Structure 1
Amino acid sequence: MSLELVLIRHAKSDWGDSGLRDHARPLAARGRRDAPRMGAWLAAGGHVPQLVLCSDAVRTRETLALMQPEWAETPEIRHEATLYAAPPRQLLAALKGVRTRRVALVAHNPGIGRLAADLAAEAPAHPRFHDYPTCAVTVLQFDAWDWAAIGKGRVAAFAIPADL
């Protein structure tokens, strides 16, 4: 059995209200346009997750909420405070005990982008992979039976909204 991990950086957030805490920042208009397009891209590629582990920040929740209507299947969703501003090791730790084969993490840079780079056996040739812009999505596949046993994975797909 192989495992599939979808790494999603939240869509473009709105910096217009300087009084908001970072955790409470919503999506900007561009982010609200981009998220459904990336959700449709995941569905078209057959990469809809069965389980989504999502940071509890407003912008990650909104990103997921706008992607999800594009998916025929409704995944289980868990909003987790530990994914907010998490480094790669902490993001990976969120998979501990997960028994689902296709999982998505919706989180923030720099952690989510670094995790994509750390887990990719070979980085895609895409010029934006290493700076992991907003709403970037990487699909990684692993020849493993358990999330605790994953090492480097094959990048099955990578895209950013500007590609669509």
Structure 2
Amino acid sequence: MKRLTLLRHAKSDWLDRSLRDFDRPLNARGMRGAKAMGLYAAEKKMVFDAVVASPAVRVTETIDHFETAFGHTLNPDWDRRIYLASSVTLIDVLRGVSDDAGHVLMVGHNPGLEDLVFDLVPNDGSSPLRDVVEEKFPTAALATLDLAIDHWAELDNNKAQLVELIRPRDLDPDLGPQDDD
């Protein structure tokens, strides 16, 4: 059994239209959301054996704020393939994770992370949380999946159970849902 936690980057800033998408930083609400999720992870005593993340600025800043509140250094493996990746690419990245890692944190972007949930969790009506993701997987949301595999290379569609979904607004109503994109 493996465990995968997905963290979508926090709310980014669109004020400077001259920046490339890759270079957009977090806005104030995003910083608060990332910290709230880090505090939540600390409260739940989450332990990540490996972290894989997009190197986009909004992801690196999400990790910085999450990590500060979490109280533990994450040491992510920055993987450019995660930036705006499809679910197929994200599965490929995860298949390359060392089997020593029982619990992996992946930090990235939508629609890839949302689509990854849809691909990994069966659409058979057995997961009310999957239905919530279908409505919206907002910025800074944290989804935890249990995977019915022994090796990351075995990761494939319909092999997961979505066991937890926490959105920033679940922790602080001021963090949503004004504009959750």
Task: Give the TM-score normalised by the residue count of structure 1.
Answer: 0.91
Report the equivalent of 1:20.
19
User: What's the counterpart of residue 143 of structure 2?
Assistant: 138
Give the 3-state SS of the residue equivalent to 1:63 in structure 2: helix
Counterparts in 2 of 1:41-120, with a 5 A limit?
A: 41-99=40-98, 100-120=101-121
- CA shift, 1:159, in A, is 0.9
Where in structure 2 are there 5+ consecutive unaligned residues?
A: 172-181
Q: Distance in 1 between matches of 2:128 and 2:44?
A: 16
Count of residues in Structure 1 that have an aligned counterpart in Structure 2? 163
- Structure 1 contact 54–83 (Cα < 8 Å) conserved: yes
Name the counterpart of 1:156: 163
Deviation digits for residues 71-90 of structure 1 (CA, Å, limit 9, x no counterpart): 35433311111110100010
- Across the aligned residues of Structure 1 and Structure 2, the Cα RMSD in angstroms comes to 1.7
The answer on whether the counterparts of 2:23 and 2:58 sit within 8 Å (CA) in structure 1 is yes
Q: More helix per residue: 1 or 2?
A: 2
Moved more, 40-49 or 131-140: 40-49
CA distance in 2 between partners of 1:128 and 1:89 (Å): 22
Give the percent of matched residue pairs that are identical in Structure 1 and Structure 2: 36
- Conserved in 2, the CA contact under 8 Å of 1:47 and 1:139? no
Q: Which is worse superposed, 26-35 or 41-50? A: 41-50
Unaligned residue ranges in structure 1 (runs of 5+): none
Task: Say if 1:50 and 1:74, in contact at 8 Å, map to a contact too.
Answer: no
* The one of 114, 124, 130 aligned to 2:128: 124
C-alpha separation in 2, matches of 1:33 and 1:63: 10
85-94 or 47-56, which deviates more: 47-56
Q: Distance in 1 between matches of 2:127 and 2:91?
A: 18
The answer (yes or no) to whether the contact 1:48–1:71 under 8 Å persists in 2 is no
CA distance in 2, matches of 1:155, 1:141: 7
Q: Do the aligned partners of 2:95 and 2:155 also contact (CA within 8 Å) in 1?
A: no
- SS state at 2:139 partner: coil
